Chain A
Amino acid sequence: MHTNPASPLLQLDGVKIAYGGIQAVKGISLELYKGEMVCLIGANGAGKTTTLNAISGTLGLAGGSIMYDGDDIGTLPTHKRLRKGIALVPEGRGIFTRLTVEENLRMGAYIRNDAAAIDADLERVYTMLPRVKERLAQVAGTLSGGEQQMVAIGRALLSRPKLLLLDEPSMGLAPLVVEKIFEVVQTVKNEGVTILLVEQNANLALEFAQRGYVMESGQLTITGSGRELLADPKVRAAYLGE
């Protein structure tokens, strides 16, 4: 498929995350290599979103380390991690509902000030998301769920991420729309962005991703290539409804 460079782009080692006294993530280790799409699947409350938030820096660590591109980023605030190239598309999309679509996208370039390059990137996003381009002047809160998700992904792309963290992009969307979203994600991946995807829609996620991790009550239990996991009887029983 593709060759892994020697050192991973992102490496979690024994990461623990706690809310108050309760440990939500109990020492997980995972790594992502450049250009990969990896998915993290698991039931509700397994700690997937928590893990993603810790990687993006919106949550602090209770233990362990996060290495990115050779640096320990475990204590960096979110905006500094974004500058290093880690962008999060939050769960529930988190678009700015009162701004127009174009304003939303431009907000994605908040940390940049190279106007010409931003415009060029916008054009690239528009070709990737033709549906979004038709609605630039519309207030984002009036978009459909799928369109909002696309805006959220487009906005994250405008920060020129190296690593894109996607939190449940399929949440609450019709199956047909979900497929469109995954096509977009695939396009983003083909452009060379490394992707860590959290999904409950395990079937689809494993089809698209090269590798996957299964998370259960704060721990990673099974790992393997997308195909292996799809064929794994335990995974099939627990997450694919068989």
Chain B
Amino acid sequence: MNELVEAIPFLGKRYPKATKWLIIILAAVAPLIAAYFGRSWMRILDFALLYMMLALGLNLVVGFAGLLDLGYIAFYAVGAYTWAFLASPHFGIHMPFWIVLPLGAAFAALAGIMLGFPVLRLRGDYLAIVTLGFGEIVRIFMNNLNHPINITNGPQGINALDSLNLFGWNLSQSIKIGDFQIHYLYLYYYFFLLCVIGSIIFIKRLQISRVGRAWAAMRDDELAAKAIGINTRNMKLLAFALGATFGGVAGGLFGSFQGFVSPESFSLMESIAVLTMVVFGGMGNIAGAVVGALALTALPEILRNIALPVQQAVFGTVILDPEVLRMLLLSLAMILMMLLRPAGLVPAHARYSRPELLKGGA
């Protein structure tokens, strides 16, 4: 939170308290503002929150532990498909969220460990290539496991997933109080917001814990980390598993929110998009992941809303597809970032231990 405040130019330095409240209020009323521009914007906000969870999870792996993971979206897929298997008419199983969501997280964590073991000795480019392959393997499995036994329903995906039902309260149904109606997109927004805040608190505690410090040491210098007694093998596996857990939970929520999963939601480009968010926001930094996710979910949509009418007006037809523009924008963002703010929008502080522990002053 304070990191986020500090990162806001001018305002954050002068009026940190006011800025903090401004952020809180903005987070609370964001869907109301979005609603003013239309339903699609509320949906985008909901997705931004899901991406935040993904970015936070990937940040654990890439930012904290320094393990470049290009197949992160696979864990998202595992979470989403767990939801699809256990809470949809596909198999006719309809389990409640408090079973499916933890199960999805557990499966994702297991997948994380499965990926972690073979890549323990790899670093840098080699690690990136293997994780990339892993991501593709998962997607291709989802794509092809409809034959000879239909498990994933192949490229058609699975339809009519159960929506999130919090102990009898269905989040996908709008609440009606007399004439007044609260649209379900609000409900999802606030639920996702709670999830994101919970994740942030958890990760924040993790960062200053023994585990967080071990990751930081490992990222700086693996041999030195071993030399001071860190079990680097377990710490790497833990990073993969915990990062994957966040992906799994986000995936489950995605499935319930979207009501539909198919392999094409989990392509390599998605992995890269999440990684871009982490790098764009500032690697190794919680506020960075949040800002990066928000910026890179919203900007392409804004661009789409501007680019389409502009192209229509200028050329009379749409020349550049918005999806192409999105990739263009992501790459442009990365290049600008490298030139202007190589440490990301919100540069990470190199602080891993609790300042109050330091007696020599900081």
Contacts and interface: CB of A to CB of B under 8 A. Distances in A.
Given A99-B350, A102-B360, A110-B210, A79 B231 contact: yes
B358 interface: yes
A17 B352 CA distance: 36
A96 B216 contact: yes
Contact of A137 (B221, B233, B362): B362
Interface string B200-236: 0000000000100110110011011011111101000
B349 to A, nearest CB: 9
A78 B226 contact: yes
B230 A90 contact: no
Output the residue of A99, A111, A119 with the most chain B CB within 10 A: A99
B93 to A, nearest CB: 43
Contacts of A97: 220-221
Given A77-B231, A156-B227, A100 B362 contact: yes
A136 B361 contact: yes
Contacts of A101: 360
Nearest to A58: B226
B226 to A, nearest CB: 4
Interface stretch (A25-33, A35-43, A80-88): A80-88
A82 B230 CA distance: 9
Given A58-B223, A96-B220, A100-B362, A107 B228 contact: yes
Contacts of B230: 79, 110
Contacts of A155: 228
A89 interface: yes
A56 interface: yes
Interface string A87-109: 11110001111111111001110
B228 A82 contact: yes
Contact of A110 (B221, B228, B357): B228
Nearest to B349: A98
A136 B217 CA distance: 18
A95 B228 contact: no
Contact of B229 (A78, A90, A94, A139): A78
A11 interface: no
Contacts of A159: 228-229
Contacts of A106: 353, 357-358
A106 B356 CA distance: 13
A107 B357 CA distance: 12
B14 interface: no
Nearest to A82: B229
B299 to A, nearest CB: 30
B176 interface: no
A234 to B, nearest CB: 33
Contacts of B221: 90, 94-97
A58 B231 CA distance: 11
A131 to B, nearest CB: 14
B147 interface: no
A90 B224 contact: yes
A83 B210 CA distance: 17
Contacts of A96: 216-217, 220-221, 224
A88 to B, nearest CB: 4
A110 B213 contact: yes
A117 to B, nearest CB: 14
B358 A82 contact: no
A103 B352 contact: yes
B355 to A, nearest CB: 10
A57 B226 CA distance: 9
Given A99-B350, A137-B360, A94 B227 contact: yes
Interface in B310-362: 350, 352-353, 357-362
B85 to A, nearest CB: 38
A101 B352 CA distance: 13
Given A111-B229, A133-B360, A152-B224, 6 more contacts: A82-B228, A98-B350, A102-B359, A106-B353, A137-B361, A139-B350
16 contacts: A58-B226, A77-B231, A79-B230, A79-B231, A82-B229, A87-B227, A96-B216, A96-B217, A99-B350, A100-B358, A103-B352, A106-B357, A110-B210, A122-B359, A139-B350, A156-B228
Which 5 A-B pairs have CB atoms at the shortest separation, nearest pair first?
A136-B360, A94-B224, A98-B350, A111-B229, A82-B229
